[in-house]
Structure 1
Amino acid sequence: MNPTFQNFDLATSLSAFIRRMTSVTVKFWTRSGDGWALLVDVFVLMPTLKYISSSVDDIRYTLDSNTVLFVLTDGVYVMFSDFPLQTDIFDNGFSRTPSASALNRLRSSASLAEDAAGGPLEKSSSYEAIMRLNTLDECIGDAERTRLAVQADMDEVLKRNRRVLQLVLGERQQEVALAYKRNALAVEGRRLKEAEQVRDDARLQIRRRREQLLAGRAALNAGRAEHARAQDEFADDRLELDSLAFELAKERRRVCTDLQKLYPIEPILDKTLAFSIRGVELPNTAYEGFDEDKLGTALGYTAHLVYLMAYYLGVKLRYPIYPSSLRSYVFDPISVLQGPRAFPLWPKGSVYYRFEYGVFLLNKDIEQLMNSQSLLVIDLRHTLPNLKCLLLALDAQQ
């Protein structure tokens, strides 16, 4: 019969002291009649077990009937009594079943090992692992012996041929040194050619730069001479320009003086800041109840006078004036407006707010003329007083 029993885990079911014991008692019970009877009672010393295979399927031996197999973590083991072809490793290699004395020695050795270790023996390595290590150690020893033998042979050969080897080595060293020097010479030759090419290019650039510098120096000298001549001409032209500007300003002031004679502005004695132009009174902004024909005539004279002064003084008015006696008007080209941009300077028959805006633009032109002569406007609404002040300032500059 080949019964198979259920596995049990020693690691969880038993304590560490029991798991590390080196001996175990195996008992097999069988049913006999109405009860159970003890069939096998054997004491097993674990170090005496024989390793036969890594697994049950790999066993290549013919086992007896009812052989007890111990399946451990590292392989399958049997007792010596269950495996006939064994070597008594305890009695110097004789092929027989271990004797009682050998078993006693194993028990004593296991007990002494446990006592020396202070407890049960620990599992170290399997038989298969130990055999692999043994084989590997033998291979390493053979390789070491072979290496030493080869080394000794090579040392002997080197001793016999030391002189020849030194000559060959010296020749090889000389060849390597010569090849290195030749390579270095070739590299230096290429670097020398590159340096010569750079030198030739630099010389060519220097020669071109020298030619450019000579040409530039000649042009600079010519430019300096031309600049000196132009400076002399500029100085003469500046003097002439200053003289012409002085004469022009003088002539402009003279013309403005003549304009003052053509359009005389005189104060009215019984009124404050009241002036008349060519004998026609022009009030300062307060036009209610004033004769509209006289007002249009005075504003026409004033517009014509401002137009002529702007022309002779060289001032371009922002709000151009178109004098036409009683029908003079001012044009506004810059403001944002709806409708016509021409504003009348006569009140009779015109929209009054457009007439007032036209007078305002006329006063702004007078302010522009005064600013051109560095004069300050105190009150923009005083048309004739501001104009009289401008004429007097021009007359005083003569």
Structure 2
Amino acid sequence: MSRFLPSNRKIRHLHGISLRNLALAKLSQPRGQAIDDEYIPTTLSSPSKILAQREGRLGHSQSFADLKSSAIEEEGLEGSANGNAANGSPQKVKGKRRQTLRRRSTLSWSHETPENRQRLLQEAVADRRLDSFFTLHRAGDNEPLYISEVKHKSMNADFQHFDLSTVKGFSRLDHVTVKVWATKNGGQFGQLLETDVNLPSLVWLGKNLEDFELSFAKNAIVFHMSDGVYTLMDYIPNIQSFLSSNLAQPPARRVATLPLQETSSFDALMKLKDLAECIDDAINTQASICTQIETFIQKSQSQTATVEALALRDSAAQKTRNAANKERREVEGLREEKTRRLKSLESRRTDIAAQRVAQDVAGLGLKDEQITFERIKQEQERIRYERTGQFRRVAQELLNVFPIEPIEDHFLCFKINDLYLPNAQVFEDEITYNGPPMDADTTAAALGFVAQVVVRLELYLGIALPYEPFPCGSTSTIFDPLSPAKELGLGSSSGSVNGWNRMMAEGSAKNTGLTLPTPESHPFRLFPLYRHGSQSKRFRWAIYLLNKDIEELMQHSGCKVIDPRTTLANLKYLLSVLASGQGEMPRRKIGIVKGLDARS
């Protein structure tokens, strides 16, 4: 049973629309007939007229079964006319014989193959399957307020539900225009039907369509509302039987009806003499009907106003209750948030007080710590000054032990301990030498002195050089733990160098750990600072490594490197910078050996 009165059905209660029995073919129109009294519905039907119409009717030819049943019925009628059966025996009174339905002729498919039958069935079904959608309009307005989705290949289309309660000026109306658009085989959409729907006049079908057993007419529209499913009376063929069944919605309240009055019959109308009397009678009838309508409206106006006012008050009260509940929930939430923030604020105040106490306690010893800090800072400055002075003294002593002097009439040519050491570019094959005379033993001894100076500076300055030199007079060496074996091969084709390359490759393959190689484990990475047979390329590589160590010392001391190949010039510049400074140079402290000290 519907929960809403017919007058209370509004568009806001409409949630969905379904279509049933879609068909593009229009209903056949009745053939045109002349305007005559015979075709007026209210014309009296006399027995002679009914008999004449029955005799003039042309029926279908009957099959053998139909002829047999007709013969039996005629025989029964003849016997009943005499009160006896056809054989003369008394006839027994029986109930009315149930009329049998004539089977549809399907003999044309009897000799068809199953494939053809399936094809014919699919064609029959595909002829009724359409692509469709619908639009909702205000009455008299062509602009749609809602456009549904397209349902493809469907005779009974069920569209998605919607909500029209938020559409201003449309949700409170009880009239809506529904336009259905359809197409076949993916063509252009065309308007299939247009219906102006009055929601109070809809027929309630039930809660859903599953319990509805009657059939719909072609192109029927079903309306899904809040309390059930509705449709128009025109879409149900057996409307009288449906209204008399339990599915029909009973009246929610008694409605006052006007007393029944007889209208003019066809015979009374035919008695009117002329056109003037007909017009006067029509005017009088119209006035009487208008009076009756006005009287009915005046009587029911107060009841309608009361019902509408009650509905409006209920709606306003419900909105007020909802708003109050919402505000109540918001107030509860704000109270909880306030309580949480008060607890957090109290906790923070406690933490601030504890931190202030700790800060006051720590501030008591801050002055003593500042005094200690200033004393340590002054001590650090003194130690730094003394260290710089010791660096000056060490550099000056190195210059005294290993004097580096330039050679007259030769640009950038220096000697150490009166031993001439050419620059690195002199040892390259493509350079033509134009300097002082040199020999291999003098060069090896000079390189040994340079290696000793580099080792002393490494220890005094506290620097870890990338290439460690091993001073040993004229047979000094230098170790390369970083360069790859391919770079150390130097591309020579001699047998000895190739042997060194194989040894270095094998050593690099073995050195897969995280520790660097050592001279004991990788002797092939130890390069001589003297010429030895045909290994001139290894000798040049050793000089290159020694110059890189000097360059590292200069960069650590803040000296600018102009040309790293000038070995003695760079070393002279480095020692001069370290020995320079203001103030008196400190003297060397006289120490004792702990093993000879009597106090030890």
Match of 1:29 in 2: none
**Counterparts in 2 of 1:37-76, with a 5 A limit?**
49-51=36-38, 61-63=47-49
SS in 2 for 1:62: helix
Q: 1:212 to 1:300 in 2, by over 3 A?
A: same
Q: Supply the AA of the counterpart residue of 1:366.
A: I
Q: Supply the AA of the counterpart residue of 2:37.
A: K
Q: Supply the AA of the counterpart residue of 2:354.
A: A
For the residues of structure 2 that align with 1:64 and 1:356, how far apart are their CA atoms?
A: 138
Match of 1:120 in 2: none
Match of 1:164 in 2: none
Indicate which of 289, 298, 307 corresponds to 2:446.
Answer: 298
8 A contact 1:343–1:357 mirrored in 2? yes
Offset of 1:63 from its aligned partner?
Answer: 1.8
Match of 2:470 in 1: 322
Q: Supply the AA of the counterpart residue of 2:48.
A: T
8 A contact 2:403–2:417 mirrored in 1? yes
Aligned: 1:246 with 2:385: yes
Per mean C-alpha deviation after superposition, the further-off stretch among 196-205 and 350-359 is: 196-205
8 A contact 1:292–1:348 mirrored in 2? no
Indicate which of 217, 220, 227 corresponds to 2:359.
Answer: 220
Match of 1:376 in 2: 560
Indicate which of 333, 352, 355 corresponds to 2:536.
Answer: 352
Q: Supply the AA of the counterpart residue of 2:381.
A: D
Match of 1:87 in 2: 267
Q: Which runs of 5+ in 1 are unaligned?
A: 1-7, 12-45, 68-84, 93-101, 114-129, 154-179
Over residues 48-93 of structure 1, what are the superposed CA-to-partner deviations in whole Å (9 max), with x where a residue is unaligned? Answer: x42556599x9664329989xxxxxxxxxxxxxxxxx98364545x
8 A contact 1:257–1:395 mirrored in 2? yes
8 A contact 1:322–1:328 mirrored in 2? yes
Over residues 251-303 of structure 1, what are the superposed CA-to-partner deviations in whole Å (9 max), with x where a residue is unaligned? Answer: 12212222222222233346443322223221223357732222111111111
For the residues of structure 1 that align with 2:453 and 2:343, how far apart are their CA atoms?
A: 76
For the residues of structure 2 that align with 1:309 and 1:355, how far apart are their CA atoms?
A: 23
Write 1 or 2 for the structure with the bigger share of helix. Answer: 1
8 A contact 1:328–1:345 mirrored in 2? yes
For the residues of structure 2 that align with 1:294 and 1:219, how far apart are their CA atoms?
A: 73
Q: Supply the AA of the counterpart residue of 1:219.
A: A
For the residues of structure 2 that align with 1:90 and 1:191, how far apart are their CA atoms?
A: 78
Indicate which of 244, 267, 283 corresponds to 2:422.
Answer: 283
SS in 2 for 1:276: strand
Match of 1:14 in 2: none
Q: Supply the AA of the counterpart residue of 1:308.
A: R
Match of 1:364 in 2: 548
Match of 1:262 in 2: 401
Offset of 1:347 from its aligned partner?
Answer: 0.8
**Counterparts in 2 of 1:114-129, with a 5 A limit?**
none
Match of 1:125 in 2: none
Over residues 13-60 of structure 1, what are the superposed CA-to-partner deviations in whole Å (9 max), with x where a residue is unaligned? Answer: xxxxxxxxxxxxxxxxxxxxxxxxxxxxxxxxx87x42556599x966
For the residues of structure 2 that align with 1:201 and 1:231, how far apart are their CA atoms?
A: 43
For the residues of structure 2 that align with 1:307 and 1:59, how far apart are their CA atoms?
A: 142
For the residues of structure 1 that align with 2:52 and 2:327, how far apart are their CA atoms?
A: 92
Which has the greater radius of gyration?
Answer: 1
Q: 1:188 to 1:321 in 2, by over 3 A?
A: closer
8 A contact 2:395–2:575 mirrored in 1? yes
Q: 1:199 to 1:51 in 2, by over 3 A?
A: same
Q: Which runs of 5+ in 2 are unaligned?
A: 1-29, 54-264, 304-319, 428-432, 487-503, 505-523, 586-600
Q: 1:348 to 1:292 in 2, by over 3 A?
A: farther
**Counterparts in 2 of 1:130-145, with a 5 A limit?**
145=295
Match of 1:309 in 2: 457
Offset of 1:350 from its aligned partner?
Answer: 5.7
Count of aligned residue pairs for this structure pair = 273
Offset of 1:224 from its aligned partner?
Answer: 4.0
Match of 2:479 in 1: 331
Q: 1:218 to 1:283 in 2, by over 3 A?
A: same
RMSD between superposed Cα atoms in Å: 4.8
Match of 2:149 in 1: none
Q: 1:240 to 1:350 in 2, by over 3 A?
A: farther
8 A contact 1:330–1:345 mirrored in 2? yes
SS in 2 for 1:63: helix
Q: 1:335 to 1:225 in 2, by over 3 A?
A: farther
Aligned: 1:388 with 2:375: no
8 A contact 2:395–2:576 mirrored in 1? no
SS in 2 for 1:281: strand
Q: Supply the AA of the counterpart residue of 1:297.
A: A
Q: TM-score, normalised by structure 1?
A: 0.54
Over residues 71-130 of structure 1, what are the superposed CA-to-partner deviations in whole Å (9 max), with x where a residue is unaligned? Answer: xxxxxxxxxxxxxx98364545xxxxxxxxx5xx57x999xx9xxxxxxxxxxxxxxxx9
Q: Supply the AA of the counterpart residue of 1:50.
A: D
For the residues of structure 2 that align with 1:62 and 1:381, how far apart are their CA atoms?
A: 143
For the residues of structure 2 that align with 1:64 and 1:205, how far apart are their CA atoms?
A: 99
For the residues of structure 2 that align with 1:208 and 1:291, how far apart are their CA atoms?
A: 86
SS in 2 for 1:327: coil
User: Which structure exhibits the higher relative contact order, with contacts defined as CA atoms closer than 8 Å and separated by 6 or more residues?
Assistant: 2
